[in-house]
Amino acid sequence: MLDDGALQPLLETREPGLDAVPSRGDEVDEDPEVVDPRVPFGEELLLEALEASQRLVHAAANLGEAPAHGDDLPGDPVAHRDRDLLRERLLEIVGDTREAHDLRARALERRVETGARHALAGAAGDPLSCPFQCFGVHGAQGYARRRMRSSELDYDLPAELVAQRPVEPRDASRLLVHDRVTGVTRHRSFADLPGELDGHLVVVNDTRVVPARLALRRASGGAVEVLLLEHLGQDRWEALARPARRLRAGELLRAGGDDDPVRADNACVTSTQGLSGGAGGGSVELLDALGGGRWRVRLEGEPHGGVPLPPYIHETPDDPERYQTVYGAHSGSAAAPTAGLHFTPELLARLDHERVTLHVGLDTFRPLTTDTVEEHALHGERYSVTPAAWERIASARKVLAVGTTTTRVVETLACGGPLEGRSHLFVTPGFAFRRVDTLLTNFHLPRTTLLALVMAFVGIETTRELYALAIRERYRFYSFGDAMLIL
């Protein structure tokens, strides 16, 4: 690092390219050798965490060691010179290579992060997907989510497009393919997936759905439905019970029949329709009320209830395994990772693939009830990844994540998370994906965190256009529906 005494002669020997000091501190002349003299060299820039405002003041980032001669200042090329949300100029240094370099430290960041980067692309002109139109050089403290109204996640879907039964065979479902680079969209069959990939490592979530829907009765004979959400260790579970208003801590609920089922009135509660052997599961003792119909319960024995189905599915598959993936290995989910339901063993064998585990909770599918996306709270979900699996994923040339749950696991680890723990990662527009290059996903319900993740990956307006196209082309939606591949 040059001290100020050694640097002064270098600045004095240059012919200034500016007639006057720039009006804003984030502007420099086209000549890369002229820099605003008000910016000190060699000092680390520290910014206090600020709330988003209508007009942010951008301070110049630490440029590091000054060049000893006429070389360009080091930096990372920016794919597009897009304006930021306020349509102001970025701080740019342009050298002989004519490449632009984004050196602005953004709000809520302490320094420019030059760590792992991936070229990301979003919908042109979509301000909320701006981070995907350049290389991800920012994010030393994560990302600042943009304020987004939950109504942005709404869309109208004809009821007849909600898939009631899965297609046979599994890979006969349709596949909507969208290339973010070329903007081309094409219609394929899921069996054509291998031909759409180019050296991708396919990452799947190998969780299995617990037969967690228990039809029980109170001592008075009243029917109660208990849905086991998460195993807390030993014989303890977190569960959802209905009707919640009548239940009391200390009650013992015993196995009953399905002749008087309790109909769930909340969209995040699964259907009371079970699959074969849908009732049963032993007795349940209610221990502590957790709010919102949730309880900490003690279960006698292992869960032997029905596989839960979403409330929009009104028909029961003949085979319970159709709500499980063919590669599921670790039981623990309250809902299926539905993007994986399209794979057959033969199709999976044709792909270079790796496994992670995230036990899906109902919070993943719970609709947003807040005015803004940022106000919605995730309770988190348990995940685990083996060291060998993460080594393959981290070093892969391209990663295809099968589903939003797989995406959250991979990006949790890419952001520095441990190999085992709980993921509270809430992916919304503005998130910079570090490891997932391609996304395979189903078509999701309005106002859900799943749809917010898709919008973060492909852009808000592009997502709307793709969903509108899928509706026009009569694609099948939701858990048993068709799939979409975003390259």
Kindly tell me if the per-residue pLDDT of 5 is higher than 70.
no
How far, in Å, are 55, 256, 302 from residue 85 at the CA level?
10, 58, 53
Query: What DSSP letter does each residue of 308-367 carry, written as one string?
Result: PB-TT--S--SSGGGGS-TT--EEEESS--GGGGG--HHHHHTS-EEEEEE---GGGTPP
pLDDT digits (tens, 9 = 90+) for 147-173: 788 889 999 999 999 999 999 999 999
| φ, ψ for residue 62, nearest 5 deg | -65, 120
Q: Looking at domain 150-209+316-486, does it have CATH number 3.40.1780.10?
A: yes
Kindly tell me if the per-residue pLDDT of 342 is higher than 60.
yes
Kindly tell me if the per-residue pLDDT of 222 is higher than 80.
yes
pLDDT digits (tens, 9 = 90+) for 55-65: 343 444 444 44
* CA 193 – CA 441 distance, rounded (Å): 12
Q: What angle do CA 181, 184, 189 make, to 5 degrees?
A: 115
Cα Dmax for the chain: 93
Going by DSSP bridges, is the β-strand pair 353-358/252-255 parallel, antiparallel, or unpaired? unpaired
User: What pLDDT shows up at residue 403?
Assistant: 97
Q: Which CATH number is 213-299's, of 2.40.10.240, 3.40.50.2300, 3.30.70.1520, 2.60.40.10?
A: 2.40.10.240
pLDDT class of 212 with cuts at 50, 70, 90: confident
User: What pLDDT shows up at residue 90?
Assistant: 37
Torsion (CA) 159, 161, 162, 167 in degrees, nearest 10: 150
pLDDT class of 140 with cuts at 50, 70, 90: very low
Write down the domain spans for the chain: 1-113, 150-209+316-486, 213-299
* CA 110 – CA 464 distance, rounded (Å): 35
Give me the residues paired with residue 168 across strands.
none
C-beta of residue 426 within 8 angstroms of C-beta of residue 144: no
| φ, ψ for residue 204, nearest 5 deg | -120, 155
Q: How many CB atoms lie within 10 A of CB 196?
A: 17
Q: Which percentage of the chain shows pLDDT scores above 70?
A: 64
C-beta of residue 300 within 8 angstroms of C-beta of residue 235: yes
Kindly tell me if the per-residue pLDDT of 392 is higher than 90.
yes
The pair of three-digit structure tokens given for residue 156, joined into one six-digit string: 């109208």
Q: What angle do CA 84, 88, 92 make, to 5 degrees?
A: 85
User: What pLDDT shows up at residue 350?
Assistant: 97
Most confident of 257-266, 278-287, 458-467: 458-467
More confidently predicted of 347 and 33: 347
Kindly tell me if the per-residue pLDDT of 265 is higher than 80.
no
Q: Read off the pTM.
A: 0.67
What is the mean pLDDT of the segment spanning 242-263? 72
Instruction: Characterize 103-129 residue by residue with b for buried, 16 or more Cβ atoms within 10 angstroms of its Cβ, and e for exposed.
Output: bbbbebbeebbeeebbebbbbeebbbb
